[in-house]
Amino acid sequence: MEKRSTDSQVKGVSTGTTILAAVYDGGVVIGSDSRASIGGDYVSSKTINKLIQVHDRIFACIAGSLADAQAVTKAAKSHLSFHSVQMETPPLVVAAASVLKELCYRNKEELQAGFITAGWDRKNGPQVYVVSLGGMLISQPVTIAGSGSTYIYGYVDAKYKPNMSREQCLQFATNALALAMGRDNVSGGVVHLVVITEEGVEHVVVPGDKLPRFHDE
């Protein structure tokens, strides 16, 4: 038992997780569960908010090492704040995703963190970008990641529609996260959702006892 505890401490705290982002007609929804784990089998926290606001209408959702992800998002916030002052305009979503990509790529040997970046800007409207562990950047209308995502690829492929309404997209995101949390032992807690539109940002929290159930747990 002692050896297992030592191994877990070496691995550090990870957001063993399910994260998601989806574009709908007029905005984007980004969401996650709230658990953090150590060593992949011990849940160290049930109350982590993995949705990090890096600028007014841009959020990053984190997966991987919690310490690495927090360090990267802190650096990205500083960079984007300076950029917006220098340019006298809010940064584009792709610019924020590119900053995260560059930070991950330059430090790929040391970092174990990946991100979903989602937001709204006046040039391209609602957008979603995936930044992989090694610093690859991909634009997609909907994406999922984390340990729980392996359980819901079929659901996401079958249920996502690009022109959904706000309410439909929120329900889609909640259902997808609930399905993953029901199967993945290190995804769970509550569902954090953020809706990003031209009008602003709205935070939604769905408690665990209010999540939809699709099977006996």
pLDDT tens digit sequence for 43-82: 777 888 999 999 999 999 998 888 898 999 999 999 999 9
Q: Which residues are catalytic?
A: 17
pTM: 0.89
pLDDT bin (cut points 50, 70, 90) of residue 213 is: confident
What backbone phi and psi angles, to 5 degrees, belong to 34? -130, 20
Contact 66, 48 (CB under 8 A): yes
The set of residues, in sequence order, having a beta carbon less than 8 Å from that of 40 and lying 6+ positions away, is: 11, 14, 16, 147, 186
Inform me whether the pLDDT recorded for 1 exceeds 90.
Answer: no
Domains of the chain (ranges plus CATH)? Answer: 18-37+44-208 (3.60.20.10)
pLDDT tens digit sequence for 186-211: 888 999 999 999 999 999 999 989 99
Q: What is the pLDDT of residue 108?
A: 86
Q: What is the pLDDT of residue 13?
A: 64
The count of other CB atoms within 10 Å of the CB of residue 160 is: 21
Rg over alpha carbons for the chain, rounded to the nearest Å, is 17
**Distance from CA of residue 79 to its chain's centroid?**
20
Contact 112, 76 (CB under 8 A): no
Contact 40, 184 (CB under 8 A): no
